[in-house]
Amino acid sequence: MTAAEKLPVEYVDTNTSDGKPVVTLIGADISEAYLDDAEPSPTMEALSRLWRRIVGMFKLGLVLLLVGGYPAMTLLSHKVDSSAVVLSSAAPWYSNDTGTAMTLLGRELQVAGWANDRSWWHPQARLTALPAWQDGITGALSDYALLASEHAAREPGAPDTDLLAAARLLVPSQEAEATPRLNAAAEALQSYEGRLSRGLAAQPKGLGVLLDELALYKRWAADSQTQLRSSVDRAEAWPASRADIEAIYSARAYAQVASQLMMSSLIQEPDLVYTRAAGEARDRAIFAWRRAANFNPLVISSQAGTGSFLSDHPAAMMFYLTEVNTATTEFIDALQAQADETMAVAEATSAE
């Protein structure tokens, strides 16, 4: 029986003047069963209100998460590590340069994660600085591996195959996922290290190799200055354009690789620097490269004019790179001067 059938009323077919049916109450005693069906339960009303509040709070939390949480996760996913590389003494490398290169590459693959490989919804997919930094790291390592493959050639015109493969795999590319390709590059570097430990590969050493490396680093500084020059004294966006951010972080990445490989080579062959002038020039060069690598403003800005409100960070980075170029040139000159001095002393000794 439905609730309507239990109503204590009688319907009359005759209609009133207003067209509504006449309802006659035929009993004043309403059963408790009808009241249970007709009136909502206070407990259910309380639970219904509680449920509506829970749903409302969930919707509000979802909105706050999308509005505030996603940008926060984007900021937290920006992981640029410009700290110095310290190789473990527990498992020494036969080539410090190989260990340094693999450490720099491993930081990006295993710690930060490769930003350009992320799905469109991932917070890192919204970043600008990290992809430019990572492409700069691999681009610099590619140039270095190519130079090292030529220095490690056992025969003229026959570069080391593992280093050459690593150089090709490290070239930045947007055509496919980078992680598999960079893992293959790391395996090629590890293969070279293994061959080197067994005496099956040559290791680049000597003053001539160091001078060639320093010349490569100077070229990196010049290329970074060229990229930054288009941003100096020109405000295309506020506080900075995407191109400004990419230029600064790319320059930082090349400075990071240059400073770490330079220190790695000098640690492995400390006897290459033996005069006071060369030692002072070495320290100035490393300091200049480290300062450029650690240039990390809270917010990148590129504002033309006096910069009374916001700074012109591309111009600041260009100044640091100018100091880098000067210090590296002085270091090269000091190394050549000490070599000439040593040769002169040797000739004088042999003449006597």
pLDDT digits (tens, 9 = 90+) for 9-52: 555 555 556 666 555 555 555 555 555 555 667 787 788 888 98
Q: Check: CB of residue 323 under 8 Å from CB of residue 219.
A: no
In angstroms, the CA 76 to CA 349 distance is 63
Q: In this structure, what are the phi and psi dihedrals at residue 236, rounded to the nearest 5 degrees?
A: -95, -15
21 and 95 within one domain: no
Task: Identify whether 71 is part of a domain.
Answer: no
314 and 338 within one domain: yes
Q: Is the dihedral of CA 286, 288, 289, 292 positive or negative?
A: positive
Q: Is the dihedral of CA 302, 306, 308, 313 positive or negative?
A: positive
HSE-CB at 346 with a 13 A cutoff on CA atoms is 6
How would residue 5 be classed by pLDDT, with cut points 50, 70 and 90? low
Task: Identify whether 347 is part of a domain.
Answer: no
| pLDDT of 92 | 83
Beta-carbon contacts of residue 146 (< 8 Å; ≥ 6 apart): 159, 163, 164, 167
Structural domains in the chain (count)? 3
Task: Identify whether 351 is part of a domain.
Answer: no
Between 228 and 308, residue with greater pLDDT: 228
Q: Write down the pTM of the prediction.
A: 0.81
- The kind and range of the H/E element at 345 are helix 313-351
247 and 189 within one domain: no
Question: Which structural domain range is residue 54 located in?
Answer: 4-59
